[in-house]
Structure formats: C-alpha cells, structure tokens
Amino acid sequence: MTSKAIIARRLFDGEEWHRDHAVLFSNGIITELRPASQLPVDAEVVATVDLLAPGFIDLQVNGGGGVLLNDGPSVDAISRICAAHARFGTTGLLPTLITDTPAITKATLEAGRAAVAAKVPGFIGLHLEGPHLSVARKGAHDPNLIRPMRQPDLDLMLAHAGEFETLLTTVAPENATREQVRALSDAGVVVSLGHSDTTYAVAVDYARSGARMVTHLFNAMSPFGHREPGVVGAALDDGALYAGLIADGFHVAIASMAVALRAKAGPARIFLVTDAMSTIGTNLDGFTLNGRQIHRRDGRLTLEDGTLAGADIDMLSSVRFVHERIGLPLEEALRMASLYPAQAIGATHRRGALKPGLVADFVALTEALDMESTWIGGNTVFAA
C-alpha cells in the first residue's frame, strides 16, 4: 500500500530534531522517518510544513467549544470537546469530570464507553477528578459533593477499567484508602493524588501503593514547607510521581514553575495540562459549574469569591508559555506536551513521539509557533 508523507523543514521526533525530513504513515500508523530527499517513489506527499512535532496529549480537560463535561456527559459532548482542542494541537485528551453526583459519574463512564465505540478523534479515555477529595483543599469543587470512596464507587471504576486506553482518577488520601488505590492501580486505572492536605510521608506511601501522578502541581494541595514538605514536596522529591502543571501564569507563579522544573527528581517528569473549561475556542464570558457562576476575565476563570475555577488556556499556548516565559528549550516544552504525559499514563507504546509503530498524531506549526494543522490517526482534523 502506498504510504503518505508529510515533509517538514524541521521535524522533532520526541527526542531529537531532523532537518528536511519526512514522516511516512499508512493506515493511521507511522511507518518510518527518512530524509525528504530519500522518499519512496510511490509515497504520496500530503503536506509540506515548517515544523512537525508529536501531537499534544492533555490529561485534564474539563471542557471546550462551549461544552462542559459535567453539564451533560454524552458522545456529542466528548466529540465537541475533542474538536475544540484539536484546533490547538491536542491529538489525545482525557475529558475530565469535576466532582459530581454518583449518577453523573456513571453517565460519564457510559458516555466514554460510547465514545470509544464511535471512535471519536482525539478521545483516549476519561479523567474522574473526584469526588473522593479533601474538603480542606477543595478548590472550585463543590464541598457538598465530596465524599469517601465506598465499595460501589470502587466497583464502578473497576468495571470500566478495561474499556478505555486510559482511565485516570484523582483522589485524596483523606477519602481513599491505600487498599483502594492498590486495587485501582492493579486493574490498570491511573491514580493521581490531588486536592489533598495530606503529609509528605502519606503521599509517598500512596505512591508506593500505586499512585503514579499528582494533579495540577501546587494547586489544591499541601504546600512545600521547610519541616513538612507536603504533597508538593512528595511530587518533586519522589522520582516515581509524574506531575501535571497548569502553565497559564495564574495558577502557578513563573518563578515557582522554574524552581519546580529544576528540582523534579526523575525518571518521572512534570508535564503540561490545561485544566481547560468550556470557554476554549469560544467568546463566552462565563458559565455555570454545579449551579455556581464562573466568570471569565483577563485570562482567568473564577468563582464569585475569586477562587480559580479551571483554566482558560489551550495546549499550544501552554507550550509557548514555558518556552517563551520560562525559557525552556523548545524541544523540552514540546516533550512536556507529548512525551511526558504519554509516559505518565504508560502510553508510549502508542503515542507521544514520532516513531515507527506509533499512532500518526502530529501537530504542524509555523516557525513562529502558530498553528498550521493537526493530524489524528493520519487524518487532518484541523487546518488554519
């Protein structure tokens, strides 16, 4: 079968740069990379671009395109969220349910199952952010809906664990036991610690029990102190814990981001998340969450009392922020949006780089880092 090819003046494969190279793909899978001057005679060149990189992976996306997942979980809602973020280079995302009722949680899992069957472009699973969190670190989550994890909650997640490429849940040790975390991890559910006021020691203990991530580093968690390092300290000091970071300049100060990036123990890394709400790709000036008004002003989303309520940023803007404002090399900024989140969910056998055998998910940018096109499974889903 004839391979398709995209030629790039600069191509980043997830590890290194290539000049005047092409990525070849067939049936939605990358087959090889080779110099543009050495393309097979029967290869079909479908695009020539300035810069080609692995498609972005966003593990925390509450909404987009005017849709908030909590407002009505469905295949249509998931599809609209994925399409909204594809405009900004995201080729794989986890629609995220903010703490809600048991009925909405169940409906979300069922909608996710239907989205898998419908093969929604960009949908790679779900993120259940709560309801098993700490009221003390609730953030914008409704405290009336936060509760301990009971056996029916555990059983529901275990029943759906094998239905998605990734099922991720954020829990706090205050409302989820080590045994529950171990059961979820053993079943393939990615467990992230977040919205927690717990100690460094407990957070590290939960990492040993199967938790592998920390949700939106610094936000809604016990801070780093000189005698009690808290969840922040555990995230930075424990080399097994990956950590998501909202890089909008509001959730975390630039200096704090820079310090954290320098301090993070490996091999686990810090990766970018948007924590985006329904405003992405729209001119909405606000929306409601669990019956409460969220205001959109000057790049911030807040409750009436000023509490941040998700973020108003896309993944390409996040990449540009850590590259231009923090000064990270472009290749590292790109890794934070693709390779590192893929590693965090154990998906590097499918995505996160431009390598033979991986899914043909690409983002094409101009030299000025403006959007050119987004490709999912070898198909153009957005062109500027």
Q: Which of 64, 170, 66, 171 is nearest to 123 (CA)?
A: 64
Distances (CA, A) of 68 to 37, 74, 77, 86, 195: 46, 11, 8, 16, 20
CB atoms within 10 A of CB 273: 30
30: Cβ contacts below 8 Å, ≥ 6 apart: 23, 24, 354, 355, 356, 357, 358, 359, 360
Q: Is 244 helix (H, G, I), strand (E, B) or coil?
A: strand
- Look up residue 379 and give its two tokens: 């198909």
CB atoms within 10 A of CB 52: 28
User: What's at 244, amino acid-wise?
Assistant: G
State yes or no: is 100 an active-site residue: no
Active-site option among 58, 248, 275, 314: 275
In DSSP terms, 68 is beta-bridged to: 63
Q: Which of 383, 378, 376 is nearest to 82 (CA)?
A: 376
Question: DSSP letter at 123?
Answer: B
How many Å apart are CA 184 and CA 180, to the nearest integer? 6
Would you name the residues annotated as active-site residues? 275
